[in-house]
Amino acid sequence: MKGLIAYSSRTGNTQKLAQRLADGLANIGQWTLADIQQGISPEGYDCVLAGGWIDRAWPDKASRQWMEAIPAAMPCGLFVTMGADPSSEHGRKVMANLEKILARHERALGMAVLPGLVDEKLLARVRQMPAQALGDEGESVKQQMVEAGEQSRMPTEAEYQAAVRTFRQAITDACIDKGE
């Protein structure tokens, strides 16, 4: 089984998750790890895991475009990192949006949503942002964004391992057992 793990990473959080997935799945196939910016294509692979970082509850623009271009017949799983807590209301919106992307795939391999440190430069920009730029409840939204950024963290070992287990089982069921 030949798999591709393609990712977009701004601060290194998603790249680290992609590497952990590649290491954790190495014994169930031959994996290629690539940054989406390198122009990698999913053609010629038996399955794809595509990852990115979250921007406004969606994968970043580059990874989202790449994810949406993966052929529907290709077994596909999605992984992302986000500054907010994945179990928060924002995290639930992220998961719903990832489900929308996966819905068009005949064989979805699931998703992994893990925390990641917020870029300090981004956090500084949010602190300087006028509250009215964020809408009617701008001050509240701004405060939530700053708090989430200050509380952001790297994934735990258990979270990395859970992501590997999720994809290992899905890939085994959808790709390896199917003779791909």
**Residue 41 pLDDT > 90:** yes
Percent of all residues in the chain with a pLDDT value above 70, rounded to a whole number: 98
**Residue 177 pLDDT > 70:** no
The predicted-structure confidence for 72-110, as pLDDT tens digits, reads as follows 999 999 999 999 999 999 999 999 999 999 999 999 999
Q: Is the CB of residue 101 less than 8 Å from the CB of residue 64?
A: yes
> What was the pLDDT predicted at 140?
82
Residue 150's pLDDT band (cuts 50, 70, 90): confident
| DSSP character string of 70-133 | S-TTS-EEEEEEESS-TTSHHHHHHHHHHHHHHTT-SSEEEEEEEE-PPPHHHHHHHHHS-GGG
DSSP state of 178: T
Gyration radius of the chain's alpha carbons:
17
Residue 178's pLDDT band (cuts 50, 70, 90): low
| Strand partners of residue 3 | 31, 47
Residue type, 123: L
21-43: average pLDDT: 97
Structure tokens belonging to residue 27:
């014994």
Structure tokens belonging to residue 137:
């409840």
Question: Residue 110: which residues within 8 A CB-CB, separation 6 or more?
Answer: 77, 78, 102, 166, 167, 170
pTM of the model: 0.90
CA-based nearest residue to 99, from 132, 172, 91:
91
Fold (topology level) of 2-117+154-177: Rossmann fold (3.40.50)
> What was the pLDDT predicted at 144?
83
